[in-house]
Amino acid sequence: MTRRLVLCAALLTLLAAAALADGILIPGPPERPEPEVPYFTIKYHHVDVEIRDQVATTVIDQVFINEANREVEATYIFPLPPNSVVQDFAVEADGERMESKLLEADEAQEIYEEIMRRRKDPALFQYAGNDTYRCRIYPIPAGGERRIVITYSELLNQDADVVDYMYPMSTEQFSTEPVGETVFNCSIESRDPIASVYCPSHDVSIDKKDRRHATVSYEENDTRPDRDLQLYYAVSQDAVGTHLLTYKERGDDGFFMLLAAPSVDQDTDPLPKNVVFVLDRSGSMSGEKIEQARDALTFCVNQLGEDDHFEIVTFSDNIRSFGDELQRVTSSRVRDARRFIAEQEAAGSTDINSAMELAMDRRTDDRPNYIVVLTDGLPTAGVTDLDDILANVQEWHEDMDGASTRIFVFGVGYDVDTHFLDKMAVDNNGVAAYVRPEESIEAKVSSFYSKISRPMLTDIGLDFGAIDTYDMFPKELPDLFWGSQIVALGRYDKRTTGTCSVSLSGQTPEGSETFSVRARFPSRATGRDYIPALWASRKVGWLLDEIRLHGEKKELVDEIVRLGTEYGILTEYTSFLATETGAITEEEAVDRLRGPQGAMGAAGPLATERMGGYAISQRDNAQAMQVQTNVATQNMYQDAEGHWQRVANIRNVGQRGFIQQGEQWVDSRLRVGSEDELQPELQVQAFSEAHFQLSRAFPTVNAQLAVADNMLVLVNGHVIQIGDEGKTELSADELGALGLTDEGEADVGAAPIEPETQVGGGGLLGGLGRALAGLWIGIRSLI
């Protein structure tokens, strides 16, 4: 057994891998692709992944349709990300095993370039430099279908207890029509307890069945996926698993993402808590509102833990409470509480101030206090000045400074003042949510309460040791509940790098505890380029809320415009980027802000509203950005009716944004400035040798070159235009002027990526990596 563990440890030290890509079916043989034949249409695309202790087995099932009016031979190419370690790669076409060949990076590059030259499609740039499997598929009849099933196993990279898997779905853009059905299912089994499961790329469904099993699923229809699916899971023996991911560019401060989640079983007892429910029963709540509110409150009471204490306060122009103090949870008191809830009828005016005073008085300092408020209107009795009420609540909060208190507010309908309710919640460490007229109060409140019903870590503190961090969002970490996780993003100073201990502390069911993890804050360039864009979205969301709640300041607007421009983030303050052509000076940008309408279909941001559908949408847009955990929802917004819309002419590529202006895509960093800054220093003809020279010399910009064949892009600070006209070949001096080093390697503003401990890729080392991976996969069942 000892020798077996030593062997496994050695293999784990030697081996790590990125994941595989989805395949592309190209019309024609590889040496002679047929540009006049359209890409095949993907009828469906099903992916089933089973991950067991870092070994992933992936099964891909696709049906391709030949849209041409004649029989076509096809080439199936399957690009491998750098350093991938693959075993047992098999291709079946309509049940028949097909012979496949592994092409090393240089040979694959030649094939990609030839396909792009002939088909005039830049999308394959994103795979330049990758090893690739190639398989020739027998002719497909006109209008016919070909089912292809691929199975492969791979060893996944584990870095600091974080295992990553990637499945690039972006190859589905090589489908003539939108993909009819895309389904991704992944099951994870781990010997070590699973703490966090996180997908930064897609809005997936995650179900942690127990400490060692989790499932991830994603489904969409009639779409053309344009980004790779990235999946991480973290393992930890601690009750709260804490992990850190980073991103760094040369010369700049770094970015970090902190993940924290309980890794305990579902039957672990949560922290006992105090919960005070505050229900508005004024006349405006009559009818269906009060009925749904009663049902929601009944659900919440039924979810109370046996060690919890609770109280119910209802208000109109008079205040009623269920008891004279906090109540213990017993079967008889819960039954009495349900009866008390059922007796509540809507009548009278609204005295929020008195209700909040009684609720705050019920708190104790020996356990976390949660106050859940549900109201549909403005105060009309007692203290009615909103600022006075906020000041009173804050004063009551401070009167019991040692009590951990969070206020959660639900605003019902369009007659609520979003600024007032948001401030009440945010100033007291909570959040506000809004129920539109067409939405169910019961469903929204019940869903929310289910998430906060079982606290596992409260009063959270975070210590980064000697690392100087700043601009972390959220500004204050929320309590951690069973089944939830904290995702925090921030920056670290480039002058404070290295490995240190990051500590997360707080109150657990066992008392005060600290959970630490050794984390590396690199000084050189690293991967995970989705982190900067997510951080920027969160900061922009926080800045928008600062303006919405506390008034507009020039420095806040300037920072929103800067971040929105650099990362291609759509807001009320950068919507002009998507509608105007040419460069925009800073002065002109301010003028756009005062325009009557922006791209988001709302009055200019200076006309901030407090009530109504648009006020709720404006607030929801800012809140969505502040809690954003994946890039799939970037550049989506809620309209005044609460429907989510996507802006099609803005794309995020890595940590950069591109905006479509007519037929041309423009690097968003070029959209604010002078006309001179839009003048290209170099013009390159698309699909010429010069185009491919840029790809080979500057591999870190290949994802950006794949955006379009008519574009303005920044390469190492130089503006380059790619289009129908321009240079067809670049001299060594011209490449050198763009930043080539003496060694002939491109300097594009980022140092070579710091390698993880990994073996793979092409050549002898790649062969060794694949051999060792095969050995590991082969003995997996023995350990």
Q: Which of residues 634 and 48 earns the better pLDDT score?
A: 48
- Contact between 660 and 568 under an 8 Å Cβ cutoff? The reply is no
Cα–Cα distance between 481 and 121 in angstroms, integer?
48
pLDDT in the model for residue 19: 32
Q: Which of 627, 307, 297 is nearest to 478 (CA)?
A: 627
pLDDT at 17 over 50: no
Average pLDDT value over all residues in the chain: 76
pLDDT in the model for residue 647: 52
CA distance readout (Å), 631 to 141, 173, 572: 39, 18, 19
Q: Which of 460, 252, 471, 236 is nearest to 368 (CA)?
A: 460
DSSP summary character for residue 397: H
CA distance readout (Å), 452 to 312, 378, 469, 738: 17, 26, 29, 53
Type and span of the H or E element at 186: strand 179-189
DSSP summary character for residue 284: G
pLDDT at 3 over 60: no
Confidence of residue 594 (pLDDT cuts 50, 70, 90): very low
Any residues with CB less than 8 A from the CB of 704 and at least 6 apart, and which?
Answer: 653, 654, 656, 658, 667, 713
Q: Which of 151, 199, 179 is nearest to 49 (CA)?
A: 151
Q: Which of 327-336, 415-424, 465-474, 733-742 is predicted with the least confidence, judged by mean pLDDT?
A: 733-742
- Contact between 205 and 217 under an 8 Å Cβ cutoff? The reply is yes
Q: Which of 375, 637, 422, 415 is nearest to 549 (CA)?
A: 422
Phi, psi of 198 (to 5 degrees): -140, 135
Cα–Cα distance between 632 and 227 in angstroms, integer?
8
Highest mean pLDDT among 562-571, 581-590, 673-682, 698-707: 698-707
The CB density around residue 742, as the number of other CB atoms within 10 Å, is 6
Cα–Cα distance between 301 and 281 in angstroms, integer?
18
CA dihedral over 135, 170, 533, 625, signed as positive or negative: negative
- Give SS3 for 704: helix
Mean pLDDT of 88-95: 75
pLDDT in the model for residue 578: 47
pLDDT at 383 over 80: yes
Q: Where are the alpha helices (DSSP H) in 682-762?
A: 689-697, 702-705, 732-737
pLDDT in the model for residue 326: 93
The predicted-structure confidence for 353-371, as pLDDT tens digits, reads as follows: 999 999 999 999 888 999 9
- Contact between 375 and 445 under an 8 Å Cβ cutoff? The reply is no
Cα–Cα distance between 643 and 203 in angstroms, integer?
17
Any residues with CB less than 8 A from the CB of 96 and at least 6 apart, and which?
Answer: none
